[in-house]
Amino acid sequence: MTPLWHLTRKSIANRRLTVALTVAAVALAVAMLLGVERLRSDAREGFAQTISGTDLVVGARSGPMQLLLYSVFHMGNATNNVSWASIQKLAAHPQVAWLVPISLGDSHRGFRVVGTTTGYFEHYRYGHGEPLRFAEGRPFDGIFEAVVGAEVAARLGYSVGERIVVSHGAGEVSFAEHDDKPFTVVGVLARTGTPVDRSVLVSLQAIEAIHVDWQGGARMPGISIPAEHVTKFDLEPKAVTAALVGLESRLAVFRVQRHVNEFPDEPLLAVLPGATLQELWGLIAVAERAMLAVSALVVLVGLAGLVAVVVASLGERRRELAILRALGASPGQIFLLLALESLVMSVIGCLLGLALVQGGAALAGPWLQAQYGLHLTARLPSAMEWALLGGVMAAALAASVVPGVRAYRYSLADGMTIRI
């Protein structure tokens, strides 16, 4: 008898078109499974690194997730503001290295307007400690200067020198606009994959300036103060929405957090952004598990198709198998031949699927980062990806037994019988 491996190679080569299509189906199914896992893990890492280098986020007392959502993700609204006096006291704390205040409430064509200081560009970090970079222009300096995020610039076609009008309120459509005090875009930030991309950044003084002739959310009747005259007013903020805080030493984070939570002047809350982000991700973990389950079902369908193709071909191969039996092959060798064919196709499909994921990540990663801020990296498979591959291989091994058992049951007489 010819060695079993040689027979397997010859058999696969003889049916190369059918084998190629079957392997392609398995490869695409495995690529989908591993691709979803790669996207899930990279998205989770990017989500957890939406803000890095910030030790505490401080705001009015509410829930930790609510504070993080409106201060970092600019979603929702604060239950209350933090007085400017309290912000100054916190900034003067001996353990506080820097403090960046944030003021929310206005918008521009559906995008949040964020009042802050130039310290935002200096201290805000995302990813692995990456700073904000300018695609063009510079930070704001004058009162009516604005810096827009990458997505704002891309969707609205903005560039340096564009004149924009801020609307009162956070809705996509606003009937109360600060059109008498327009801003000039002086900078466009590079894409970060964070909520910064969807923000319009202005100074805290600008937020005060556009509201000097407003009261109770509406313009005061009969009063209109031109933009060139607002500098005559006191533009120091009375209150802000939240603050990002960096400490001299991270060893003091719990001590400073307790100090903020027990602040005597007003009820405040300080949260650790990393821990709260992980807690927030846990709330949406059901969706990622559902995606993995669907991908696993696709892999099972691919393996079922492989088994169906091999089993369906047995009717045409009965004579071939009978001749092998006549030449001395035992039923066990026939079983191994068919099982090995299925296993080889599964292994090739898994390897091609892994290659597709790696190649897709290498080619599409930079584009996804530039267009959507989604971090997709071509790297060695993670422990979870190896575990998924191992699970696919185990399922493939189990599936390969089916055609082997079917061939094992065929007898020599059945194979040589001529049916009319």
Interval 212-250: pLDDT, tens: 876 666 666 767 777 777 778 778 899 999 999 999 988
What percentage of the chain's residues is helix, strand, coil (to nearest 5)? 55, 15, 30
- Residues in Cβ contact with 410 at an 8 Å cutoff, skipping those fewer than 6 apart: 314, 318, 321, 322, 334
Instruction: Please identify which residue in the block is written with the tokens 């200096």.
Output: 122
The token duo for 115 is: 């009042």
Fill in the amino acid letter for 345: M
Q: Which residues of the chain have pLDDT under 70?
A: 1-4, 169-175, 214-220, 222, 283-285, 288, 310-318, 321-323, 325, 329, 331-332, 368-376, 403-404, 406-420
- Can you give the pLDDT at residue 314? 64
Q: Is 401 exposed, middle or buried (0-12, 13-18, 19+ CB in 10 A)?
A: middle
CA distance 33 to 404: 27
Render 264-276 in DSSP notation, one character per residue.
SSS-EEEE-HHHH
Q: Which of 401, 391, 403, 394 is nearest to 308 (CA)?
A: 403
HSE, side-chain direction, 13 A CA sphere, residue 334 = 26
Query: pTM here?
Result: 0.70
CA distance 373 to 251: 32
- Can you give the pLDDT at residue 407? 67
CA angle 252-253-254, nearest 5°? 95
Helix (H) or strand (E) holding 262: none
The domain locations on the chain are 4-47+285-416, 56-271
